[in-house]
Structure formats: C-alpha cells, structure tokens
C-alpha cells in the first residue's frame, strides 16, 4: 500500500481502533491526530495555561517539543522526551480538548506534525480526509448512535455511563463544524458492527 487512507468520525466512533487494525493489515503505520490535541489539552492543564489562549498554548507546545511517534504497535506522544500517552484519555482532557482543537493556530500546528510523516499510512481524526489530506485516494467516515458511542467510551473511563454520554453529546455539539465527512468518503455506521466487521468492510473496499 503506497498511498494514504483517512478514517474520520466523531468521538468514540471507533476510528482509533479501526485505524490501528487497518494499518496492521496493510503493514503501514497509523497516525492519531487526536492524541496531539489531547497532548495540548493535557499540557495546558498541567502547566496552568488557559486552553483558550492560543498564543500561550503554542509557545508551550514549541517549548515542550511535542512530537507524535506513529509506531505500528500504537501511537505515542512525547514532550521533552516524556511519554504523555498514559495521561491523555481522562475526563479532564475530554472536557477541554474541543476548545483546544478549535484554535486555528493549534490546528495548523497539529497538521504540520502530521504532514511531517511520509506515506504510506492510515490517518485518523475528524477532518483528515476533508482538510489535512484531501489528496488521499481512500477516505472513510465512521459514525454511530450517541448511546452506542457512550457505551464504548464508558468501558474506557471510570465515570458513569450517564456522565460519559452527557460529555459526549456536549463535545458533539462543539465539534459539529469540524467533524464532517469528506465529499468522497465512504460513510459507515458502526452502531451494529463489531470492530472486526468494520475493519473487514474497509479492507474489502480497499481491495476492490
């Protein structure tokens, strides 16, 4: 596989797990754009930087030399050599990551980090196929009912399902303009599909 595959979708649509499995099947790395936004949110919280202060946040990201390592076994994010990955999937980060992701300067910074990686690869996020890699020949957009997505995320969080659903709907509303399928993307509703079935459909489409 020589090109770029993009897999987009809203929170907890399964795009990270699917992207990893598809990349493994193709024998290429995958890029998790969301981890970079989560790293920015985590560093803002840890450093006491206002997540809405774009200039201060960008200075922090450059000072910390934040980098994404797209390893086949899983993406990692480093800041000054420290592995931030274990701290990026928390409810505290969930609450502010949308605010961080809406900052144009932060989005440009994330896109630059992603574009530094030479293809082939599978890129997952919210606008990979529509904005970051519009030239990609293979584009997919995963979605699912909010209740299904909340159930999936609740299995990864210590918080109750009701709180996870509330936060997910809140983020959906904030991300509505950002998370949209590319015009030429294949849209897959994964509400009633297992991870294996979703991966199989994407691989079958790529084979065709």
Q: What are the pLDDT digits (tens) for 52-81?
A: 999 999 999 999 999 999 876 778 999 999
Give the residue-averaged pLDDT of 121-140: 94
Question: Strand 186-189 vs strand 67-71: parallel, antiparallel, or unpaired?
Answer: unpaired
Contact assessment for residue 44 and residue 95, using Cβ atoms and an 8 Å cutoff = no
Contact assessment for residue 18 and residue 195, using Cβ atoms and an 8 Å cutoff = yes
Residue 160 is part of which domain span? Answer: 1-29+121-208
User: Both 97 and 14 in a single domain?
Assistant: no
Q: Confidence class of residue 1 from pLDDT cuts 50, 70 and 90?
A: low
Residue 62, SS3? helix
Q: For residue 183, what is the domain's CATH number? A: 3.40.50.300
Q: What are the pLDDT digits (tens) for 144-158?
A: 999 999 998 888 887
Q: Which one of 101, 116, 131 terminates a domain?
A: 116
Contact assessment for residue 193 and residue 201, using Cβ atoms and an 8 Å cutoff = yes
Give the residue-averaged pLDDT of 162-173: 88
Q: What are the pLDDT digits (tens) for 69-121?
A: 987 677 899 999 999 999 999 889 988 998 898 899 999 999 999 998 889 99
User: Both 185 and 105 in a single domain?
Assistant: no
């Amino acid at each position: 596989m020589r090109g770029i595959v993009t897999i987009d979708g809203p929170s907890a649509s399964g795009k990270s797990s699917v992207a990893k499995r598809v990349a493994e099947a193709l024998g290429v790395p995958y890029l998790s754009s969301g981890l970079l936004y989560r790293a920015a949110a985590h560093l803002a919280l840890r450093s006491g930087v206002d997540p809405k202060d774009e200039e201060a946040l960008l200075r922090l990201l450059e000072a910390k030399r934040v980098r994404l390592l797209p390893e086949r076994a899983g993406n990692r994010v480093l800041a000054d050599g420290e592995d931030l990955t274990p701290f990026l999937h928390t409810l505290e980060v969930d609450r502010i990551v949308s605010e961080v992701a809406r900052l144009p300067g932060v989005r440009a910074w994330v896109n630059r980090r992603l574009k530094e990686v030479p293809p082939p690869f599978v890129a997952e996020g919210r606008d990979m196929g529509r904005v970051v890699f519009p030239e990609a020949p293979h584009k997919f957009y995963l979605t699912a009912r909010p209740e299904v997505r909340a159930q999936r995320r609740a299995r990864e969080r210590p918080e109750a399902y009701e709180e996870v659903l509330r936060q997910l709907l809140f983020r959906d509303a904030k991300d509505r303009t950002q998370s949209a399928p590319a015009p030429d993307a294949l849209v897959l509703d994964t509400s009633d599909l297992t991870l294996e079935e979703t991966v199989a459909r994407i691989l079958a489409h790529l084979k065709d």
